[in-house]
Structures are given as structure tokens and as C-alpha cells.
Structure 1
């Protein structure tokens, strides 16, 4: 087992429920992305995900996603700093939206990038629950 803080970042669909914390610690963060305009309601984006350029552009230019993520980053940073100082082993961060395809995928990737840049000493693992259930390849972003 690593001495590093392990952070699991997930996207999920509220229709299927909040993912379980497999570390056994319980808790962590659950951010609700459903308050952000849904690109999945636009025909051109229905078959795309939060990793497709058109969807990312929509979220970055037509929604309040940047404000949402700035707030989430601030909250999570406080806990990561505290967890590191107290040698905690695990932190769960979940982003949910209606289908687990657009907003939550984008948000989970953005959070993982933020954490890796600001806290290079931690291990970050990203899971896109709904996409992985469809055998979607979760490539490194």
C-alpha cells in the first residue's frame, strides 16, 4: 500500500445512484452538476460525452461550469491540504448529473487535472461509472 493520499474522482448518473466508497471510510464529496445547463438536451451532443471538444466548448462558453468548478476546487483543496497534514489514506470525490455522460464527466476530468497540478504528491484515479459500464475506454486525458 502506498503512503500517498489516494483520491478517487468519479462521474455518475443520479438515475443509478451515488457510487459506493470502496475504501470503507464512507463520506467524501458529492457534487450535483444538474444545476448546470445540460448539453445532452441538444441533439448534436446527445451521443457525445464531456470529453468531446464540442461538449467541452459548450460547457465552457454557454454555462456557469467555470464558476461551479472554481467553488468545488476551493472546497476540495481545503480537505486535501488537511488530509495530507493528517496522513489520511483516501478521499472520494463524485460528480453526478442526469445521465453521467456530459456535465459529470467534464467535471470529474477537470477536478482530476486540478488536483494533479496542485497536489502532485497524491494518487488520483478517475472513474466514469456510466461510460465504463458501456465499455467506454477511459483514456488518460
Structure 2
């Protein structure tokens, strides 16, 4: 079974997460090119897990287009890794503070992968700066 580690992280605080599987590689997507809802007062204390931030990202930014492209890219590798019997893949999403854009992206991609691949994969979702969101 393919185990997929998905991380949201902060470029400022912790940097790109280490791949502890020993394989190296995977994907790291920079979300800083997407308009930051953290600069808007009502969203400053929220995260990408909150409805207001999600609606903002979905309606006022290029985030939907960005994530569609991410889905296409990661699907190529996931399909190939499953076919070849690989065991690990890491997908990272970074933004300035690891709070809004990266959290949203990690959640959405985890959901997409769960829906598309179901029992063929096992997903671990890690919010490196937002520990309270980790289950």
C-alpha cells in the first residue's frame, strides 16, 4: 500500500519538511503566489480549515486553478507508484506562516486523494505550524 504524507508548513518558521521515509523527493508546492487571506483582518486568526478562509480562497484567488494543476501532477506519480509497488510519497504545501493557504491546500489534496484512490493509499495529514488541526 502506498503511504502518502501530506504536510502544510511555513517557509518562515520551519521550512520544507524532511522526508523521514528515506526516499527523498516527492512534491513541495509553494502557495505564496496565491493572494494571502491572512492579510485581511477578519481572517488573521483563522486557518485554512475555517469556512471563511476557504470561501475567500475559492472565490477571490487563483487557488482553485492552482489545486487543479496540483491534482494532475500528483495523480501521475500516485498512479505510477501504486503500479510499481512503491510504499511512500510526500506532498508538501508551504506558505508564509503555514496557517491559511498551505493548510487549505493540504486538506483539499488529502480529500481529493482519498476520494480518487480510496483503499489503495493511506494518508497522513500533518499541519506543521497548526498542531491543533492534527488528528
Which of the five TM-score ranges fits, normalised by the shorter chain?
over 0.9
Counterparts of 1:137 and 1:105, CA distance in 2: 9
Cα distance, 1:137 vs. partner? 3.9
Cα distance, 1:60 vs. partner? 0.4
Scaled by the length of structure 2, what TM-score is found? 0.97
- The residue matched to 1:96 in structure 2 has which SS? strand
**52, 55, 71: which one aligns with 1:54:** 52
Superposition CA RMSD, Å: 0.7
Greater helix share, 1 or 2? 2
Scaled by the length of structure 1, what TM-score is found? 0.93
**8, 14, 26: which one aligns with 2:5:** 8
State the partner residue of 2:108: 110
Counterparts of 1:99 and 1:89, CA distance in 2: 30
Tell me if 1:87 matches 2:70: no
Q: How many residues were matched structurally?
A: 133
Cα distance, 1:138 vs. partner? 2.2
State the partner residue of 1:97: 95
- The residue matched to 2:38 in structure 1 has which SS? helix
| Structure 1: runs of 5 or more not aligned | none
